[in-house]
Amino acid sequence: MNITVVTVGKMKEKYWVQAASEYEKRLGVYAKVKSVEVPDEPTPDNASEAQEEAIKAKEASRILAQIKERDYVVALAIEGQAFTSEAWAEYLDRIVGQGYSSFVFVIGGSLGLHKSVLDRANLKLSFSKFTFPHQMMRVILLEQIYRAFRIQRGEPYHK
């Protein structure tokens, strides 16, 4: 299985980089994992709706360039579907059973994801109604994917 995590913007703080690297290493036992950071667009203070839409569209073109036709795309979105860890593990297992072997998880920038990315997504996934920094969200996402593999295999992992 191939897992790609596409994020808008770079991880800056060393502690987030280390945490993400740790989960990528752990996941390496189960899948080939790759992180892709696409550049974010600067957002001026008091940007208009039209400016924000244009910024999201530019970021979307960079995101969509990373996605292949056969990829199963999961876009992180507040309005998406929420799962328990166990249900998430079952969901991923079911999708793999449908023949998907390449997954792309997308984390948007400060303005969120453009409609074109959300429309391409096979699943819109929500971890909470809260908004999180993309660096933190990347670590949480990687941890939950790792947890899903452990649950699927009946391997011990803290609850």
DSSP state string for 75-113 = EEEEEEE---HHHHHHHHHHHHHTT--EEEEEE-BTTB-
What does residue 74 show for φ and ψ, rounded to 5 degrees?
-115, 115
DSSP 8-state symbol, 40: P
Tell me the torsion sign for CA atoms 83, 159, 95, 64: positive
Helix (H, G, I), strand (E, B) or coil at 138: helix
The answer to the question of whether 9 is labelled as a binding residue is: no
The answer to the question of whether 125 is labelled as a binding residue is: no
Binding site per annotation, positions: 76, 108
Binding site per annotation, positions for S-adenosyl-L-methionine: 76, 108
